[in-house]
Amino acid sequence: MKSPMRFHLLLLLVLIAVWTTPSQGASLRTELRCQCLTTVSDFIPIKQILTVELTPEGPHCPTVEVIATLKNGYLACLNPEEKWVKRIIHAILKRPSQKAIL
């Protein structure tokens, strides 16, 4: 499979996984610290990723955290400085926000 096609497939599957994950609205953080002590820079194939959670920097942590839940149950903190992770973050942030149906 060609590299651009692989990227588009990866992006589509990540967006589907993120889009279909139930939203919990504004959740309360019980811990005011970073969840990721170390990050993974190596590319993780999309077939292994179940969901991706993006936590912006804030009072709990000075850095953006990108946490991928893998199909084997493991959580992987992705390095937000890696090019492939930046593409995932950009795709998540570009997606249209869901509007409440009244």
The answer on pLDDT for 89 being more than 60 is: yes
Q: Is residue 27 part of a domain?
A: no
Q: Is residue 52 part of a domain?
A: yes
Who contacts 94 (Cβ-Cβ below 8 Å, separation ≥6)?
none
| pTM higher than the cut 0.75 | no
Share of the chain above pLDDT 90, in %: 22
Cα distance between residue 36 and residue 99, in whole Å: 31
Domain around 84: 3-21+33-94
Q: Is residue 101 part of a domain?
A: no
Beta bridge partners of 51: 69
CATH of the domain at 68: 2.40.50.40
How much is the average pLDDT of 66-91? 89
Q: Is residue 51 part of a domain?
A: yes
Q: Is residue 42 part of a domain?
A: yes
Q: Is residue 48 part of a domain?
A: yes
Give how many domains the chain has, as a whole number.
1
The answer on pLDDT for 75 being more than 90 is: yes
Q: Is residue 70 part of a domain?
A: yes
Half-sphere exposure of 48 (CA within 13 A, CB side): 9
